[in-house]
Structure 1
């Protein structure tokens, strides 16, 4: 039986996932939809939710699945995921799969509140460098030296662009790690895994969306930034930890997939427009589907047939996957 590490940011997300793992869909507790989605591992009902010590972290475990609330943001998520993977390797019980699960903002036109998103591409949207100026800075009160002025600085301290210096066309540009030659700002989950989870999650009855999920350090709070991200990356959802967890998993040679439940639209920050209960309910249903489906977490890899693995992830209204 494959061992899976599920990483969330906060305890509320981990609680929702654990509620799903406890088997509200398990045999004898709730009616399951007719068909293959109601095939549950015979041993699953006998598994109890227990604590699992992972170095300085404490996770919750049921059967082959361990859930860890690692903390908010990329650094915390990477530290938690890497520690859990290292401890599991040292104990001789390595994880075979890492899932990043949690709530996220959805980009309008792609993902709405309550939808489930499976990332086809995970992009660190603000990891890189800005290039050029998109507007004149406010007037400064400090003086600069004549040397600085001769080097091309305004009295405000901002560098000027001389004609023909090749920088004027890059005003407001963003340079990724790829552009800078410092690695890659993108992680790409295995397409077969993305398709597999898209199929599995379809059992929830929720709308399933696949596409680019951006990882940010600062959550978008303006329509201007949402539009800029859309123009540059065409994402379906925004979260904070996916890229970091994917890199931690890659360091240990373990495949990773990001699954998100949409809690709010990306754009102007408006807490009144958020619906965390709906998103957490979707997250719980996603976790339940993963353990209830024969191609979910309780299944060994050999049970994934060639026909099942070849099915593309889709959303609930029959629209094909968004590739971003």
Structure 2
């Protein structure tokens, strides 16, 4: 039997939604392992690394809900990351934000595994493929949303874990799957559609099992 697929989420509600879309036979046979690893890039990286240190896996998927950029990813939509980007990894300057690449200290961009992304895109033909930003502090103002959209014209969504999971994957095939619960911008919990986003995550996970299970 091949090594299982590891799917990590931030919180238990997302893990439950992912499991709800799974074929129970895959879970029972340990072909797929789903685990919440914590909120934010540091917790996600540490939790994923711990899991990878204790068992063998064939690939890693970061899954969960996210905010969508207006006009790029609608609430209720499904997004696949072409690249996971640590959008706040860098430095401020009088001229604006400097990404870590401009400082000469590494990279803030990690691409999804091409084969895994192709398989997921084929299984989810309605999914939007684009960059997904990883932020330790999620956006809560129109000004920040505009600045991020201008700095990252290929970004379709923002979340808090993808880049951390990608770093921990350390060479294993990696992908990021998100469903959109709210538009990025002024923080308005009343406009969030968490139930719908979690239901969409379950639907997307069913396709994930068919393509990668």
**In which range does the TM-score fall when normalised by the shorter chain?**
over 0.9
Q: How many residues align?
A: 211
Q: Deviations over 1:237-280 (max 9, x none)?
A: 00000000000002xx2111000000000001111111011110
In structure 2, the partner of 1:288 is 206
Q: Deviations over 1:36-90 (max 9, x none)?
A: xxxxxxxx37x53xxxxxxxxxxxxx531111100100111001100100111xx
Aligned: 1:110 with 2:72: yes
**Structure 1 unaligned spans of 5+:** 24-43, 49-61, 89-93, 133-169, 299-324
In structure 2, the partner of 1:254 is 172
RMSD: 1.3
Distance 1:226 1:113 in 2: 16
8 Å CA contact 1:116, 1:208 repeated in 2: yes
Q: Deviations over 1:112-144 (max 9, x none)?
A: 111110000111011100001xxxxxxxxxxxx
**Structure 2 unaligned spans of 5+:** none
In structure 2, the partner of 1:263 is 181
Aligned-partner SS, 1:262: strand
In structure 2, the partner of 1:184 is 107
Aligned-partner SS, 1:236: strand
Query: TM-score, normalised to structure 1's length?
Result: 0.63
Shift of 1:289: 1.5
8 Å CA contact 1:2, 1:297 repeated in 2: no
Aligned-partner SS, 1:131: coil
Query: TM-score, normalised to structure 2's length?
Result: 0.95
Distance 1:117 1:271 in 2: 21
Distance 2:115 2:146 in 1: 31
Choose from 67, 90, 114 the match for 2:34.
67
Distance 1:22 1:197 in 2: 16
In structure 1, the partner of 2:89 is 127
